[in-house]
Structure formats: C-alpha cells, structure tokens
Amino acid sequence: MNIRQNSKVIAFVMVIIIVTGVYINSTTNQSEVVIYTSVDQIYSEPVLENFEAITGIKVKAVYDVEAAKTTGLVNRLIAEKGNPLADVWWNGEIAQTILLKEEGVLTPYSSPEANGIPSAYIDMDGYWTGFGGRARVLLVNTDMVSPEDYPESIFDLVGYIENGYSVGIAYPVFGTTATHVAALYAELGLEDAEQFLMDLKEVGVLALDGNGVVRDRVAQGMIEMGLTDTDDSIGAIERGSPVEMVFLDQGYGQMGTLKIPNTVGMVKEGPNPDEAKMLIDYLLSERNVADLVDSGWFQLPLRDINVNQEYFDASGVKGMDVNYVEVYEFIEQAKKDMAEIFVR
C-alpha cells in the first residue's frame, strides 16, 4: 500500500472515529431527569412514560418499596443532600415533603401549571405543590347500616360505639391515620383532640392493622363501619362489596374531612434542573391530573377541572381548613400520644 492509499485509509478511519464519537456523545448526552417517588409504581410509571413520549426526555425513576414506604426514599434524599442524584421528589402524601424542605433537600420552584390550585396546597415559599390526592372517609357496610342511620360527624362515633355499633380505625401511629390525628390536634387543640381519641379508645373502637384491614373488615361484614381513605374504599366498591363512603362533617359550621394531597418538589442542586422543571410542570398539568383520576390514584383533583369521577363529586367535598405545616408539626406528638393510648 503506497503513501497516498495509507493517507486515504487513515482519513477514513478518522472520519469513522469522529462520526462515532459524535453519535456516542449525542446519545450519552440525551436529556434526562431523575425522579424519586413514593407513589405506587402501577400508577406513577405510566405518567412518567407519557412524559417521556411527549418530551423525549429520558426519565430515570426510583420507586419506594412497600416495606419502607416513603421513609426509605426520604432518608436516601437526606443522605444524598451533599451530592444529590435526584432532580424531582413526587410524594403520595405531604408530611415527609415538609420534612425534606426543613432538611434543606428541596429548592423553590413555582410552576405556571399550579394556576388554580388553592394556596392551602402550595408551600408559601414555593418548595412544594400539592396537586391531587385522597380524603378520609367513613366506610359503612350497607347491609348492616341504613342510610338514615349514618353518622354525620367524626365526633358521633363515640356515641355510635356506645350504642352497640362496631367501628374500626387503623392503628393511629402510622400512615394517614396518624396524619388525621395530627390534623385534629391542629383543628381542635391538643387537649380536646387527645380527649376525643381517649374517648374512642375507652368505648371500644377497634384499632386495626392499616386502612386496608379496616376496609376489608367493613366489606366482609365483620364490623359495621370504619375510618379509612377514599382509594381503599373505592377498591371495595369496585369489587362489588356492600359498602358506601360517607364524608363526615360536611354540614354548615362543621370542620370538613381531611384531604391528603400528593406533593411534588424540586431537589436542590439536582443534576438536571431544567428537565426537573419540565417534569414538575407536567405532573401539575390538568391533563396529568385528569389521567391520575382516571387511573384511580387520585380521587380529589384539588381544583376545578373537568374530570370523570364515577363514585362521588369531588367538588362537593368540604375539606378541613388546616395549615399542613402545622399538621406536620403535630405529627410526632400525635404519634407519641396514640402509642400511649392505643397500647399494643
């Protein structure tokens, strides 16, 4: 091979190297965003896939395991604070999101897609936004209790138990029941709320192993009614169980029921801030909220949008007028008190 042929081969190889390098660089530099979420993968994964399809941005999702629901990823985010790997935090509730703000994990971002969401569900400093969720309800077995005999207020339950009705709650040291107790602390004051829970315990309320157990006991006719969440309740209705949801304290002058929003926040100094904002915008969009209602994850969109709601009209549900930061501040005290009252 002569010098001229050698030169052509070398030039060709160089072109291949350059082209290949450009291709590799373009693929490795594809826009991406990393999200940590406590939302069940069956509901959250389709949302993230839709975002990928619309934007072309690759989503790397880390899902919490059921055994360490929410807490596992929260601890991971705090541990990674000095070198964050995540860009977005999507939480199925609110308390742990407020904790992440306090721990300095989140950074403010006010999305234009939050328009129409009531200020009660948006952090005043812009660190998190609520965008839909569930509510606390009383699930009643319709074979055992007639509609005219349904309780109207959570405070009626003490008298109902005294009159022979069986009523269940989830063990109030964990989950949404603990949050509900903390909300009662914020609404009523510590002494009155604690006295109400002590009265429930004294008359014989059944403290069961979770909202799902409460639902199943009611659905199977083992108890007549129990406090649980809308998502658990709808699951029983869809299976054809003889149950009905009752939203308590809905009348004039009554406090309403607790609404528990999903929350989303942007991780401070995450590796992909622009993509993080785009994903947050998508999560908060009316389109996505409507999709989450259709999927069954959301029962309450929190704002007035056109969604298909089969089991109840969310616009007519009166929520407790509580400050969620104040609720968060009561949670540890509430858990401590409930562990002492509902001794196991």
Whether 22 is in a domain gets the answer no
The reply to whether 143 and 232 lie within a common domain is: yes
Q: What is the pTM of this model?
A: 0.82
* Mean pLDDT score of the chain: 89
Token pair listed for 232: 């658990």
Range of the domain at 40: 28-133+260-315
Q: Do residues 127 and 138 both lie within one domain?
A: no
Collapsed DSSP state (helix, strand, coil) of residue 166: coil
Mean pLDDT throughout 118-128? 95
Tell whether 203 is covered by a domain. Answer: yes
What pLDDT does residue 111 have? 97
Query: Residue 112 falls within a domain, yes or no?
Result: yes
Same domain, 148 and 254: yes
Q: How far apart are CA 262 and CA 130, in angstroms?
A: 5
Tell me, yes or no, whether 276 lies in a domain.
yes
Do 140 and 236 lie in a common domain? yes
Residues 210 and 233 in one domain: yes
Q: Establish how many alpha carbons lie within 13 A of residue 34's alpha carbon, considering only the half-sphere containing its beta carbon.
A: 13
Q: Which two tokens stand for residue 171?
A: 């063990």
Q: Is residue 108 part of a domain?
A: yes
Average of per-residue pLDDT across 168-192 = 94
Asked whether residue 19 is domain-assigned, the answer is no
Mean pLDDT calculated for residue range 334-340 = 95
Q: How confident is the model at residue 66 (pLDDT cuts 50, 70, 90)?
A: low
Average pLDDT over residues 163-192: 95
Average pLDDT over residues 114-139: 94
Q: Are 333 and 211 in a shared domain?
A: yes
Report how many domains make up the chain.
2
Element (H, E) at 338: helix 324-341
Instruction: Give the integer Cα–Cα distance in Å for 260 and 317.
Output: 13
Taking a C-beta distance cutoff of 8 angstroms, is the pair 241, 191 a contact? no
Does the pLDDT at position 114 exceed 70? yes
CA distance 303 to 250: 18
Cα atoms in the Cβ-side hemisphere of radius 13 Å centred on 171 = 12
> Which of 48-57, 249-258, 293-302 shows the lowest per-residue confidence on average (mean pLDDT)?
293-302
Inter-helix orientation angle 190-203/175-188, to 10°: 130
Same domain, 126 and 264: yes
Q: Which of 27-31, 240-244, 295-299 has the highest mean pLDDT?
A: 240-244
Other Cβ atoms within 10 Å of 151 Cβ, number: 19
Same domain, 304 and 336: no
Sequence-distant (≥ 6) Cβ neighbours of residue 21 within 8 angstroms: none
CATH number at residue 38: 3.40.190.10
Among candidate residues 98, 124, 119, the one with its CA nearest the CA of residue 182: 98
CA distance 132 to 93: 10
Asked whether residue 273 carries a pLDDT value surpassing 50, the answer given is yes
Choose among 51, 56, 90, 52: nearest CA to 74. Answer: 90
- At 181, the amino acid letter reads V
d(CA 182, CA 191): 12
Structure tokens at 284: 């908060």
Give the per-residue pLDDT at 18: 33
Residue type, 158: V
Residues 286 and 172 placed together within one structural domain of the fold: no
Tell me if 18 is assigned to some domain: no
Looking at the structure, tell me whether residues 104 and 213 fall in a common domain.
Answer: no
202 and 336 fall within a common domain: yes
Q: How many CB atoms lie within 10 A of CB 167?
A: 23
Residue 103 within any structural domain of the chain: yes
Residues 126 and 184 in one domain: no
- Find the helix packing angle between 95-102 and 71-79, rounded to 10°: 10
Q: Which residues, in sequence order, are CB contacts of 263 under 8 Å at separation 6+?
A: 90, 91, 93, 94, 97, 128, 129, 130, 131
